[in-house]
Chains A and B, each alone.
Chain A
């Protein structure tokens, strides 16, 4: 079957429901049955307001839940996220109105770090045994709804990196030395069945939690997380071949980089995301960050 990736152009978050609906149709729709257990993983990486572009926008989750409730009966929907070294998603959930949205659509909240885990044996690049939440042994369909951002270490953070947040261990900073390997491994055991990237308000030029918000008005949808990330990388002007976690995920068998573009935009040149900073300024600011990271108190 052809591997499709859809890019939809939105009018901010106004027409998000119709765009989520059409983009899912673009990638040949969803096949869910009555009573299916659906997991949804947004990016709630830190206590940053939705308008900062750092986390999946609550309106995006609201639209997806609305779509699922209107089109399928009796789904058991659970929204998942884990604690991280510097992040407590329970607070983010309450702080920015996600809790009200979950209540409105009858979806459950599940903090992966506060619930039982299981050990899985894998032949991964970093893990031979990986501890994951037991909910991943007990679901029918997994939807990943990441934020579209650049990242100081992995260049981009979109679909593949969103599953890094599915690791229940809180102190995830210890994995950052081998981040690309870990991302490939987590996607082997927790591979999403559908990826819908919130690129309506994206973020560029920072370190994933902070950066410049950009009103890019894009929704990128696909069933293969590698292909979706390849498209996201190209939108920011990066060559996917130079992004290690995409290449490692591809080699591990998570997905493929061969895809067909469908939807509102089929030529990526029409949808390039630019943070408006001139090249010299980007270089200067990055050089400053490099110097600062190398300088220590003696």
Chain B
């Protein structure tokens, strides 16, 4: 299978290209970026024969089967539509789109041209998230009452590939790291229909026209509620999800990929048991050299699964329809912050 890469930034460099190079039968034949220097640098490092400064040339001149879109979020739509129209299968970085309109246009193009599209929501493949999903589906914590996602991450904005997050009209942290948490929350809640979204936050008193911290509240049709607490500013990194169910609670330490299930009447020995299990997991991760790979190690599974679904014409692991839900939350939350009101999804979209 011949693959083309659009975007020679950090995602292509640290995640997509190293992963493609490890998959047998896959050849990356072209890379496109408006910054020729970056594209050439990656082409040299990963032995890619063709370099383009216009992605249209990549999809027209290079006889590729699949395209990996690793560009800034607001550029995804046009690129994905063009790739689908050219009959190329698409691997697209999260979020697939930042507005519902863009997501719908991508889905329409994908459907009309009968190509496969898979969104890179690699956090969803963390063993702790998969296990949480299994336990939720088995009813181990009963019905979900509420979910709380915490995404406090550091973003330096120092490299070439990040200042676009603060572009005009951007949803900032919501479309950046927030897209991971939104996907985890929606996935674990079985993509239950979203009824309402309300968000507060903003630029933390500075003059940047972007969202650098916020809280998003989501109400679902199954009566459960979710909050997402996001920022670039916190003095301590935190990536976690708490899920409270009628029969128990799950605490997913996403950063350490560790899951803790609790029920009523915990004792200090429960804490000891969980602490030992967590220590053991981290130690094993360090010995196996997987601990510091973190989310990067799950690109392999996503790309393998997309190739498999192209070959067998089966369903992809993370669909465009699921990506649309993330776009819906991103757009609603941004709108809610800007207009300082609750967004009732059925009335707006």
Contacts and interface: CB of A to CB of B under 8 A. Distances in A.
Contacts of B269: 284-285, 287-288, 291
B2 interface: no
A41 B140 CA distance: 26
B270 interface: yes
Contact of B247 (A212, A281, A285): A212
Contacts of A51: 139, 142-143, 245-247
Nearest to A50: B246
A209 B246 CA distance: 11
Contacts of B159: none
B139 A213 contact: yes
B267 A292 contact: yes
Contact of A49 (B140, B246, B265, B273): B246
A215 B265 contact: no
Interface in A277-298: 281, 284-285, 287-289, 291-292
A48 interface: yes
A206 interface: yes
A212 B143 contact: no
B264 A207 contact: yes
B248 A213 contact: yes
A1 B347 CA distance: 65
Interface string B253-267: 000000000011111
Interface residues of A, number: 26
Contacts of A211: 247, 263-264
A258 to B, nearest CB: 34
Interface residues of B, number: 19
A125 B207 CA distance: 79
Contacts of B247: 51-53, 203, 211-213
Interface centre among B142, B247, B264 (most CB of A within 10 A): B247
Given A206-B264, A213-B247, A285 B273 contact: yes
B267 A289 contact: yes
B267 A285 contact: yes
A218 interface: no
A213 B265 contact: no
Interface in A75-102: none
Contacts of B246: 48-49, 51-52, 213
B142 A288 contact: no
Contacts of B263: 205-206, 210-212
B138 A215 contact: yes
A197 interface: no
Contacts of B140: 212-214, 276
A-B interface, 7 closest residue pairs, ranked by CB to CB distance from nearest? A288-B269, A210-B264, A288-B267, A213-B247, A49-B246, A51-B142, A51-B143
16 contacts: A51-B139, A52-B246, A205-B263, A211-B247, A212-B248, A213-B139, A213-B140, A213-B247, A214-B140, A276-B140, A284-B273, A287-B269, A288-B267, A288-B268, A289-B267, A291-B267
Interface of A: 48-49, 51-53, 201, 203, 205-207, 209-215, 276, 281, 284-285, 287-289, 291-292
Given A48-B246, A213-B142, A291-B267, 7 more contacts: A49-B246, A53-B247, A203-B247, A206-B263, A213-B141, A215-B139, A285-B273
